[in-house]
Structure 1
Amino acid sequence: MADVNVDQLAELLWDDPRAFVRQALSDNHYQAVIEWHPEHDERRLVTVPPAHLLYVHHDRPFRISAWRGNSCIQRKSALALKRGGFFVLLQPLNTTREARQDEIIDLKLELFCLRDRPKGTVPCQNLHAQLLLAANGDRQRVDLRLPAEAITPEHTGLCSSELGAYTLARAAWGSIASQYDALLAANLDPKVPVDRVIMLSRCRAWIICRDFSQELTLNCQTLFRASYDNSLHWQFAVPSGMGQTIWVDAVLTLNRHDNVVSIRFSRPPAPDEDDNSLDPTQAVTLVVRPDIEDRSNHHRTKAYTGPEQRFPAAIKATQRHFTFDPGYGHRLQALADLANFHTEPEWSYSVPYPIEKERGLGNSGDLFSPGYFSGELSMATPITLHFRISTTESPALPPPTPAATATFPERPLPLLEALRRSIPHFMTRRDDGHTVIAGYPWFLDWGRDTLICLRGIIAADMFQESRSIIQQFALFEQEGTIPNMIRGNDHSNRDTSDAPLWLFAAVRDYIDRAPEGRDILNLDCGGRSLLAVMESIAQNYWRGIANGIHADRQSALIFSPSHFTWMDTNYPACTPRMGYPIEIQALWINAMDLLASLTGKSTYSQRRDLARESVMTLFVKKDAAGLYDCLNASSGTRACDAQADDACRPNQLFATTLGAISDGAINRSIIDACQPLMLPAAIRSLDDAFVRCPLPLYAPDGSPLNDPKRPYQGHYRGPEDSHRKPAYHNGTGGAWVMPSFCEALVLCYGKNAAPAAKAWLGTAARTMTRGCVGFLPEICDGDAPHTLRGCVAQAWSSTEFFRVLKMVTELT
């Protein structure tokens, strides 16, 4: 301590607290400081990794305190800054050793009046927010088991098949919250993913004992469990009178290779703590009533439009079986092994769909039940129901065979393992190859999504599947384009400037990771090699494509038409980004770099170098951290004449992760710019801040939808055109880009930033138990509490979290 100049340190702290923290570190050493912005971050659940300082500053004096429940764990009054304003540096609120699980604490801040201003000019304020103290990333676990008291209406379980069929069931047995909920939503095209047909929506069930009937609902449910082995488990403790309890298990399993789902009801032994349960060998009566429909998963059933007459007439029943054939070339078959079917039609009218109601898409649907199955249920006589959706030409449902015992994890899974096991649930067939379902329950396969997902699939060492997908989408290439949205065999939608370029990123990863990975360049893609396809994309981008994509020869940057990036909300156009978006330039530079290394052609290296120079010249902000998101321009406008869009978006992270920028200081400024966007397991698509480049949004009728100078919108809800579209890429949190922040962090700062990156990535574990158990969603609200939105299980969310977490783990 004799060599420490205390006065000099005090002067530095007074002048610049961030520099005070940095003074002991080199510029390229990670600084464990999180900045919290009063009157801004109250709407954001700020994540604080273990052993991080919390820096707070304001132009008024203040006092701040952190609370764990009713206990104050830190309280400090702000110190004055030399250049004006006040600050606090809170000591770490969680240390690496203590941080065993994520914890939410309260932050309270009292803003005081300035002494030199008249009283009442600026009133005192009390601000309240919450912080997420992130756990040590190495300790994060995903629990696929929910006790009944933890189950909410948002909790679901997902099973999927290689055909693209799915089960999406609520954790609360028998409940429905969305038109997309279904025990069996079938894909009836054996070759390609198409919109699913829902014919089995739910099953209601009752236990009858001593003439007392008790419905199986959340009231008597004890737990819900999910499994990556395509099974879901509900357990019940059913009151049976005389103070006794009947324990019942219901296990659903979706066949991976057919549109078949089975539900097995059984009587397990009572847990040790229950000493007054009904003997499981004593039979009780089980009654199960299926509720059925016949519709696309994007539609709803309304009985009065015809089904009220057609559905009952479409039922044919035998002792243990019924067939529902509505006459459109497909049918539902139901068969029980140890229960009889009783025809007793009934309708459930106006079943609420609160999710669709909130989205402005209709608030209810009608369900038809043709009757019920009943049988004696005991430990020795479990009852299994089988349901199959097939074309009418398919053979009848075969006699039931004993179902394989479903397996469920005995303990929470490490996060990396859980992410790895979630990935195959998005893999499905396309002709003789593979593709990726972008998200459940409503997406099919998209070009952009699939090629982004490829990087995580490759990281999971699924090389055969990866090779198949690369070949499949290389076959789609036409004059430099790859399909954006694919519907069955229709791949005419090629409105994307990034999908073809993501192919290069995937191929680079495959070459680097797969055994003899370079051999993939000779892969036959319809009479061309994969390398020839990649050169076709590069040459067409440079020459110009009919859809409007072209290169600006002066800068070697790529022009992208309106709504051609992943931020593609349109009609109304809410994030047009027409011009030169930053991530398109990063992807283009990566493509040129890869081709230069593979072919040795100077043309590619020259274009790469010029594009890099142009990014440095045109995208780096002079008066703020980070990069411009886009150089806004109409077609034909040179990049140097475009208008720089100063909106802070996370797309700039790809300039770091894809190697477009090599300057360490600029890469660090990109991280600084994006840190205020970070949410638990997501990242805001736009900062909550004023912009100099306005973004006016208008409804189809011409009415304004936002504040053009502060276009951030924190909630993704309400009707699509007037509310959800304006919010989707203008503040809504996206899961898939968030890992790129952690990747950039480690690329910039190396191993010493790895614990922080793991902690941020580890927040996925909490998210994976908030909605669809074991999966990551598509998006969340930008504003706290960051309600989960969009697809309940999104492919690129899982694959990108897995890829980056594995990269960081291997680094350490």
Structure 2
Amino acid sequence: MSYLKFDKTVMINLEESLTREVLRTNRKGAYHCTTVVDCNTRKYHGLLVMPVPAIDDDNHVLLSSMDETVIQHGAEFNLGLHKYQGNNFSPKGHKYIREYSSETVPRTVYRVGGVIFSKEKVFSLYENRIMIKYTLEDAHSATTLRFRPFLAFRSVKSLTQANGNVNQSFEEVTNGIKTCMYPGYPELYMQFNKKVKFVYEPNWYFGIEYPKEQERGYPYQEDLYVPGYFEVPIKKGESIIFSAGDSAVTTTRLKSLYEQEVDARTPRTSFFNCLKNSAQQFYFRPKEDDAYLLAGYPWFKVRARDLFVALPGCTLSIDDPVRFEKIMSTAVPALRAFMSQNSLDPVIRELEHPDVPLWAIWAIQQYAKAVGVEKARELYADFVHEILEYISGQKHPDMKLMDNGLLFANGRDKAITWMNSTINGKPVVSRSGYIVEFNSLWYNALCFYTELVGGAPVEKYDKIIKALDKSFPETFINGYNYLFDSVSGSTVDWSVRPNMIFAVALTYSPLTRMQKRSVLDIVTKELLTPKGLRSLSPKSGGYKPYYVGPQYERDLAYHQGTAWPWLLGAYLEAYLRVFGKGGVPFAERMLISMEEEMSLHCIGTIPELFDGNPPFTGRGAISFAMNVAAILRVVDLLKMYNAE
């Protein structure tokens, strides 16, 4: 029985099936993404979406979709599905679907009269290539398959319209063709593992619509170019493999290449395996010697804070410390270059944000827990010391160490924290001064360094720690026993926000047990939802729980009430820290709501955020690294507590 399986009743109901998406990625930043019924609902969807560095640093949709047609006795049954104006869907191929599963690879089973036909898709890990395996499971008479490719050759940020600039030429290659719509793009090779007939019949398909873009207030209609169609006979029990990529493939090897890719996958047979599989999809290696984590799909790039926050969960929690080390071997030089030369990295964005070095130390702390302090000391002690010296030496342009040991950061006119939405260049949530999670991370970093170098207090840092023991609670604890979000002179932010949870969740904290309990209680009462912590309490002014509408409306809501799963990870870690093994049943119950997400939205992963009010609908990016990593870390923590 497949863990991720949907029957006919779900698949033929477009209200259900169009909300479920599937994502497959490779290490080069390319991906395949669509809905479970293969109807594209976003401009980011496509069978082959890949970077084209010769044009820009965005991904580009080359092959948007493929319509398959089953032909018997001259009758044609088109299995494709596109949305057109007026809520019209054509050719309505979903009505033939009998089941869909996505345990190892996405698999769709169709029934057309006496024909039972399956389609399986795999995306190559190290090449920009999608392979689709078509199998005729059962048929009572001669059967022919027709394949009609829909081409876009555009950025994921734009839409294409019918035009006369398209290069309509093609060239035959082994068992297929290659073509390129516009200069600057790579050739698209479309090949099969057996000889096929290609019929040149160039046409535009007009007015295809993407409802997700319409919901978000963006242009949502485009025209797609179809150069013609492929035809091939298929026998009962036979499998045919199709390949689309930016390079030619040896067609006689397609079967073995397909099987190798399938064997490399983690079967998604459990909640943990789904999260593990999802974590591995964020790995990014644009060059042989580099290693990164993408912040999310389909539109995020590599972001410094996200990288360090997600790194332990996406590597250590799935027992892959070598991957952690490889990614750090790329990230550490980038951060060092910024600290020493104020040099920004071309791949890792937002290195200049003040809390990034503190999250880097936190990531190393998790590595020390996983593999041992001695190994962490050997690899990273010098780097941690450099960060502490950089911060204490007042070298960051937007953050200063004050005499009371607290860090003061300037975020009045620009977004410097993870709450980074802006309108007209100004932060929606202006967080400036003593910022609560910055100083929680700072205290934790100083204490961890003492542990890292062998436990003997380092006089310079020990003095700061002792100052923080007094100044942190004096500055942040208010009369209602929760923590101010930020303090700048006489200006304090009384908003109940989730950032205070880090003062409880981190290994080292300047709070007493009773103070931690009070903070946890307030967070539980006002911020906890089944899908994460709200970014703002419903009791606070400006609460906006629904992340919907055009960009402006969504920017206003982004951190003003939406719920974030990565914060649920911090909350559950804090809960277990306060209640110990007695908190395990509660943490396990909370994870049930996250496990439900495996069969919703983008199946097998966790979206960027959720509405802060019921029904807590998933929004934003369909797969988000910090969220996946945080829940993996909780699963890992629970294993540890249950083993005691």
Tell me the TM-score normalised to structure 1 length: 0.71
- Match of residue 261 from structure 1: 130
Q: Is the 8 A contact 2:484 2:493 kept in 1?
A: yes
Structure 1 distance, partners of 2:373, 2:404, is: 35
Deviations 1:500-540 (A, max 9, x none): 111111111112211x55334444xxxxxx43332222222
- Match of residue 147 from structure 1: 7
Q: Is the 8 A contact 1:438 1:446 kept in 2?
A: yes
CA RMSD after TM alignment? 2.6
2:98 to 213, 216, 222: 222
- Match of residue 573 from structure 2: 743
CA shift, 1:379, in A, is 2.4
Q: Is the 8 A contact 1:143 1:411 kept in 2?
A: no
- Match of residue 783 from structure 1: 613
- Match of residue 37 from structure 1: none
> Is the alpha carbon distance of 1:723 and 1:421 closer, same or farther for their aligned partners in structure 2, counting shifts above 3 Å?
same
- Is 1:686 aligned to residue 536 of structure 2? yes
Structure 2 distance, partners of 1:206, 1:718, is: 37
- Match of residue 311 from structure 1: 166
- Match of residue 52 from structure 1: none
Structure 1 distance, partners of 2:40, 2:67, is: 11
- Match of residue 337 from structure 1: 193
Structure 1 distance, partners of 2:293, 2:348, is: 15
1:652 to 485, 495, 500: 500
Q: Is the 8 A contact 2:468 2:510 kept in 1?
A: no
Deviations 1:535-559 (A, max 9, x none): 2222222232353111122343342
Structure 2 distance, partners of 1:790, 1:149, is: 27
- Is 1:182 aligned to residue 41 of structure 2? no
Runs of 4+ with >6 A deviation? 407-412, 482-487
2:548 to 697, 711, 717: 717
CA shift, 1:205, in A, is 1.2
1:375-774 paired onto structure 2 within 5 Å: 375-390=232-247, 396-401=248-253, 402-403=255-256, 404-405=258-259, 406=262, 413-431=269-287, 432-456=289-313, 457-478=315-336, 481=339, 489=346, 491=348, 493-514=350-371, 518-523=374-379, 530-545=380-395, 547-561=397-411, 562-570=414-422, 571-599=425-453, 600-622=457-479, 624-631=480-487, 633=488, 641-658=489-506, 659-675=508-524, 676-690=526-540, 710-720=541-551, 722-774=552-604
CA shift, 1:235, in A, is 1.1
Q: Which has the higher helix share?
A: 2
Structure 2 distance, partners of 1:758, 1:781, is: 22
CA shift, 1:252, in A, is 1.0
- Is 1:286 aligned to residue 145 of structure 2? yes
* Residue aligned with 2:566, SS: coil
* Residue aligned with 2:95, SS: coil
Structure 2 distance, partners of 1:738, 1:533, is: 29
CA shift, 1:450, in A, is 0.8
How many residue pairs are counted as aligned between the two chains?
606
Q: Is the 8 A contact 1:447 1:482 kept in 2?
A: no
Deviations 1:547-574 (A, max 9, x none): 3111122343342434111111122421
CA shift, 1:150, in A, is 2.2
CA shift, 1:337, in A, is 2.6
> Is the alpha carbon distance of 1:560 and 1:801 closer, same or farther for their aligned partners in structure 2, counting shifts above 3 Å?
farther
CA shift, 1:170, in A, is 1.2
- Is 1:302 aligned to residue 161 of structure 2? yes
1:132-171 paired onto structure 2 within 5 Å: 143-151=3-11, 152-171=17-36
- Match of residue 14 from structure 2: none
> Is the alpha carbon distance of 1:486 and 1:798 closer, same or farther for their aligned partners in structure 2, counting shifts above 3 Å?
farther
Structure 2 distance, partners of 1:777, 1:484, is: 33
Q: Which range moves more in the overlay, 317-326 or 332-341? A: 317-326
* AA matched with 1:423: A
Q: Is the 8 A contact 1:718 1:724 kept in 2?
A: yes
> Is the alpha carbon distance of 1:446 and 1:656 closer, same or farther for their aligned partners in structure 2, counting shifts above 3 Å?
same
Q: Rg larger in 1 or in 2? A: 1
* AA matched with 1:311: V
> Is the alpha carbon distance of 1:353 and 1:265 closer, same or farther for their aligned partners in structure 2, counting shifts above 3 Å?
same
Q: Is the 8 A contact 1:165 1:196 kept in 2?
A: yes
Structure 2 distance, partners of 1:268, 1:485, is: 58
- Match of residue 84 from structure 2: none
Deviations 1:230-255 (A, max 9, x none): x321111113xxxxx31110111111
Tell me the TM-score normalised to structure 2 length: 0.89
**Structure 2 residues without counterparts, runs of 5 or longer:** 12-16, 80-92
Structure 1 distance, partners of 2:205, 2:482, is: 56
- Match of residue 107 from structure 2: 233
CA shift, 1:475, in A, is 0.3
Structure 2 distance, partners of 1:764, 1:595, is: 34
* AA matched with 1:263: I
**Structure 1 residues without counterparts, runs of 5 or longer:** 1-140, 240-244, 270-277, 391-395, 524-529, 634-640, 691-709
- Is 1:213 aligned to residue 51 of structure 2? no
> Is the alpha carbon distance of 1:791 and 1:147 closer, same or farther for their aligned partners in structure 2, counting shifts above 3 Å?
same
- Is 1:249 aligned to residue 118 of structure 2? yes
Deviations 1:5-64 (A, max 9, x none): xxxxxxxxxxxxxxxxxxxxxxxxxxxxxxxxxxxxxxxxxxxxxxxxxxxxxxxxxxxx
Q: Is the 8 A contact 1:142 1:414 kept in 2?
A: no
* AA matched with 2:587: A
